[in-house]
Structure 1
Amino acid sequence: MAADAKPMQSDLGLYDYLPWNERPKIVWPGNKKIAVWIAPNIEFYEYDPPNNPTRTPWARPNPDVLQYSHRDYGNRVGWQRMMAAMDRAGFRGSVSLNVALCDHHPEIIRACADRGWEFFSHGIYNTRYVYNMTIEQEREIIRDAFDTVRKHTGQELAGWLSPALSNNFWTMDILSEAGIQYTCDMFHDDQPMPVKVKSGRLISMPYSLEMNDVIVYNTQKVTPRHYGEIIKRQFDQLYKEGAESGTVMCIPLHPYLVGQPHRIDAFAEAIEYIAGHDGVWQTTGREIAEAYHASGAYDAFNAAMAAHKAEGGSR
């Protein structure tokens, strides 16, 4: 077996299972019931990216003018509508950033930074995956992301979403090793929780496929009005459950989809609905991660998990 290979096992081995009723209570700042964060994916898709034998970026043969130009709409027009809607509702964004955008469209980066938005890494380009990379090649991507975001925004990266959700067996270990605080690559819960890594402390941050406008519009083919209702129903349930223990709701966006003229009003109305409730923490991924650690929730979860296993619970 190669040194970097991982033996066969029945699950990912990245996180534990602890039933909801055995978890320590999570308390958000100000005793808020729910932490709501919006994650705009501000991306750059290369017209003719390097070939990756595991995955082809474009479904159609080059030149795929249709797909490239559709995504380019977000960086030309859609992001401004999305940002205006978020401004009105009082939401800052946590930008899931293809860091090469700092060079391609610095105007967008400045507009986000001026509003106090967070930047976390979504790889260099969304057309370059980590499949088939060595550990050192992937480490270099992480270093590049840290350096580029620091240079253009003055921020230190706290979060990570792998480009196109591509991962290797060692990805979580080297993210934690580099100082990343949270990953969005897992979709298994509505609360943050520890990720099993070799060193450091990494947590999984509730992101969402169900709320993601790519899934909603491109896969489920729903109407804008229905998307607005999905957002509100998701919020209503997590808001109710958050009265017992703090929950997290994420709305992942892509400006080329949500920023279309016929879709923006439904999104705007939904987030204004959320903002109109008491007990809502309108926040960022970084702030959620910091609060989770500051409250002792990380250590409390691990202690509860140890007790659960000692009593014969899931392993």
Structure 2
Amino acid sequence: MSMPDDYLTYPKRAYGMDQDRYDWRVSADRPRLAWPTGAAVAAMIVVPIEHHPLNPAGKPFKHPGAMVTPYPDLRHYTTRDYGNRVGVYRLLDALKARDLKATFPVNANQLERLKPLIEAILLDGHEIAAYGLSTDHIHWGGLDPADEAGWVDQVRTAFDAADLKPRAWLSPARQQSFATLDLIAKAGFDLCLDWEQDSVPLAMRTVHGPVVALPVSNELDDRTLLIDRRQTEDDWSGQVLEAAACLKAEAPRYGGQVLGFTLTPYVAGQPFRIHAVREILAGLAKDDAWVATASQIADVAARG
């Protein structure tokens, strides 16, 4: 079978990189950042608050963590629900014990349903971020532009109605279209947790002004490593702390960097895994990492 003539045709292809959101550069050429208290590493902990419906449309694909078996997949549904009812409070307790603040992206359609949880998150001083409309509203290149713009507007409206003004945006499944950055910038979001092209905050161009990308490591994602790759909890905690140690060792050469990673409530909040979370938080304190929210990290980086 021959290859179609248009297979290698890609309208965004250009010299250097296939996009124009940010310029090409090597790590040695970027500005050297200094974090508060002289820390070499800024640790950004992201706790996604998401709801997975029993009957996801799955277009253009199912969100990671979506239902697996034929409808009604109550086994996986109730495990996810456990995360928002029980597991997340273990994570909150672990963070409070160390007086650490995290960033909690929340699906807009869950703001009213999970109101007591939102109140608990805010009471502990954590940052709320927008996590799209729902796990079943995935942004992608084939999405009608008017539909995508409507989704983003609905997200901002929902957060306004809840008297919340998040700066940071996380797309469902961390998936974007070519227009997503422009749309979230227009809606007032100036931080994004989808991209991880660097280990420091990086301003990206949009038609409505810059949006700063803060890296959240997909390679350290707890659901990916513990569920999909079936690693042990000790392996996972060791990898997070090894990443912190590496970034700390690189500080004399590259300056301060960011270690962003997720604690998914239905994964890391399980009773047989919470010890690994505590080990990670203790290890970050031992390495003198500055554990901060997305907005705090972005603001310090902007000051240079």
- Of 239, 245, 257, the match for 1:230: 239
Structure 1 partner of 2:60: 54
Equivalent residues of 1:119, 1:149 under 8 A apart: no
Percent identity among equivalent residues? 25
Pairwise mapping of residues 110-259 of structure 1 onto structure 2 (< 5 A)?
110-131=119-140, 132-152=142-162, 154-244=163-253, 245-259=255-269
Unaligned runs of 5+ in 1: 1-5, 296-315
SS of residue paired to 2:31: coil
* Count, aligned residues: 287
Unaligned runs of 5+ in 2: 1-9
Equivalent residues of 2:43, 2:258 under 8 A apart: yes
1:28 aligns with 2:35: yes
Q: Distance in 2 between matches of 1:9 and 1:115?
A: 46
Q: Offset at 1:106?
A: 0.9
Q: Distance in 2 between matches of 1:150 and 1:31?
A: 37
Q: Distance in 1 between matches of 2:72 and 2:41?
A: 45
Q: Offset at 1:199?
A: 2.6
SS of residue paired to 1:42: coil
Equivalent residues of 1:41, 1:252 under 8 A apart: yes
Q: 1:261 to 1:250 in 2, by over 3 A?
A: same
Q: Offset at 1:243?
A: 4.0
SS of residue paired to 1:108: helix
Residue 99 of structure 1 aligns with an amino acid whose one-letter code is A
The TM-score, its normalising length taken from structure 1, stands at 0.85
Q: Offset at 1:30?
A: 4.1
Structure 1 partner of 2:298: 289
Q: Offset at 1:52?
A: 5.0
Q: Offset at 1:75?
A: 0.9
Q: Distance in 2 between matches of 1:275 and 1:143?
A: 39
CA RMSD of aligned residues (A): 1.9
Q: Distance in 2 between matches of 1:52 and 1:264?
A: 31
Q: Distance in 1 between matches of 2:238 and 2:281?
A: 11
Q: 1:124 to 1:275 in 2, by over 3 A?
A: same
- Of 4, 7, 12, the match for 2:11: 7
Equivalent residues of 1:46, 1:125 under 8 A apart: no
Q: Offset at 1:35?
A: 1.1
Residue 47 of structure 2 aligns with an amino acid whose one-letter code is P
Equivalent residues of 2:54, 2:67 under 8 A apart: no
Residue 136 of structure 2 aligns with an amino acid whose one-letter code is T
Residue 272 of structure 2 aligns with an amino acid whose one-letter code is H
- Of 41, 44, 65, the match for 2:51: 44
Structure 1 runs (4+) deviating above 6 angstroms are none
Structure 1 partner of 2:23: 16
The TM-score, its normalising length taken from structure 2, stands at 0.88
SS of residue paired to 1:287: helix
